[in-house]
Amino acid sequence: MKKSMVLFGAILAAVFLTAGCGGDSSSTGNNTTPQDPSFATDIQPILSSRCATSGCHDGANSTGTGLIMTLGSAYANLVNVNSTEVPSLKRVLPGDAANSYLVDKIEGTAAVGDRMPLTGSALTATQIQTIRNWINQGAENN
Q: Is the pLDDT of residue 139 over 70?
A: yes
Question: Running DSSP on this structure, what letter comes out for residue 97?
Answer: G
* Residue-level pLDDT at 83: 94
Instruction: Produce one character per residue of 79-90: b if its CB has 16 or more CB atoms within 10 Å, e if not.
Output: bebebeebeebb
Q: How far apart, in whole angstroms, are the C-alpha atoms of residue 17 and residue 133?
A: 32
Q: What is the pLDDT of residues 18-70, one digit of tens each?
A: 233 333 333 334 568 888 999 999 999 999 999 998 878 887 665 556 788 99
Name every residue whose Cβ is closer than 8 Å to that of residue 11 and which is 6 or more positions away in sequence.
Answer: none
Predicted pLDDT of residue 12: 35
C-alpha closest to that of 78 among 1, 2, 140: 140
pTM of the model: 0.76
Say what the pLDDT of residue 35 is.
87
